[in-house]
């Protein structure tokens, strides 16, 4: 099955997203409960706020989307396999070229240090994955993502699953599937624009 931009957009509008199994086959997911980060109550821990203010990292948006998704797919300690297959990389890169997927990147000394990517459809931003080569690099990218979402008028930041404890510090919530569907329907009525600067 080819993951075309139209298929991906239709799936996200129904609350469904793809992941690749170890053999590369595509499976579709609709978690219950669903993890979200409320944009208006997003919390930045004090130490991380100092790091953001220090401007240790240069922030770039959509500068090298493919490098971000490839870094998210790369094996790391404790995670030898990944759901981000070559087909997923190609599909989301194409979605990015159509303006529906974005990356927020942290750079240090002209080197990609961390970042994240996700899918933006009207008032929904579905965070897909993040990576970090330097301490706090992906967290700084998340802070800058939320700032962009606020400025752009987004109302729903979907993080799909709670995959690790460190997301709790930002105020992540788990909500029932039915509540997510209500929030998603409302988000798809919002005319948001992703700010790139």
* 151-172 residue pLDDT tens: 999 999 999 987 566 777 788 9
pLDDT of 177 reads 94
Structure tokens at 154: 């987004």
**pLDDT tens across 173-192, in order?**
999 999 999 999 999 999 99
Q: Are 163 and 128 in contact (CB under 8 A)?
A: no
In a domain, 195, yes or no: no
The enclosing domain of 168 has a CATH number of 3.40.630.70
- The confidence band for 24, taking pLDDT boundaries of 50, 70 and 90, is confident
- What is the percent of the chain where pLDDT is above 70? 94
**pLDDT tens across 86-98, in order?**
999 999 999 999 9
Q: Which whole number is the average pLDDT over 28-34?
A: 95
Which bin fits 98, alpha (ψ -120 to 50), beta or left (φ > 0)? Answer: alpha
In a domain, 196, yes or no: no
- Reduced to 3 DSSP states, what percent helix, strand and coil does the chain have, rounded to the nearest 5? 40, 25, 35
For residue 153, give every residue at least 6 positions away whose Cβ sits within 8 Å of its Cβ, in sequence order, or none.
123, 190, 191, 192, 193
Q: Which whole number is the average pLDDT over 81-88?
A: 89
The total of structural domains in the chain comes to 1
In a domain, 194, yes or no: no
Domain that holds residue 20: 5-187
pLDDT of 20 reads 93
DSSP state at residue 133: S
Report the C-alpha gap between 116 and 167 in whole angstroms.
14
In a domain, 95, yes or no: yes
pLDDT of 23 reads 85
In a domain, 71, yes or no: yes
Q: Is pLDDT of 128 > 70?
A: yes
Q: Is pLDDT of 77 > 80?
A: no
Q: What pTM was computed for the model? A: 0.94
In a domain, 32, yes or no: yes
In a domain, 59, yes or no: yes
pLDDT of 134 reads 96
Overall residue count recorded for the chain in this entry: 197
Q: Is pLDDT of 81 > 90?
A: no
Q: Are 44 and 169 in contact (CB under 8 A)?
A: no
| Average pLDDT of the chain, as a whole number | 93
Q: Are 116 and 129 in contact (CB under 8 A)?
A: yes
In a domain, 197, yes or no: no
pLDDT of 78 reads 60
């Amino acid at each position: 099955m080819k993951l075309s931009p139209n298929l991906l957009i239709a799936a996200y509008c129904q609350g469904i997203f793809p992941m690749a199994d170890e053999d590369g086959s595509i499976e579709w997911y609709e978690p219950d409960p669903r993890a979200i980060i409320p944009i208006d109550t997003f919390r930045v821990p004090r130490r991380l706020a100092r790091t953001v203010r220090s401007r240790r990292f240069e922030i770039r948006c959509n500068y090298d989307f493919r490098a971000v998704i490839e870094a998210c797919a790369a094996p790391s300690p404790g995670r030898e396999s990944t759901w981000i297959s070559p087909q997923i990389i190609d599909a989301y890169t194409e979605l990015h070229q159509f303006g529906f997927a974005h990356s927020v990147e942290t750079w240090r000394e002209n080197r990609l240090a961390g970042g994240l990517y996700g899918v933006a459809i009207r008032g929904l931003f579905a965070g897909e994955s993040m990576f970090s080569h330097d301490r706090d690099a992906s967290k700084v990218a998340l802070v800058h993502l939320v700032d962009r979402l606020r400025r752009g008028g987004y109302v729903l930041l979907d993080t799909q699953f709670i995959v690790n404890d460190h997301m709790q510090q930002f105020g992540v919530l788990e909500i029932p599937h039915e509540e997510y569907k209500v929030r998603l329907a409302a988000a798809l009525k919002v005319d948001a624009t992703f700010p790139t600067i």
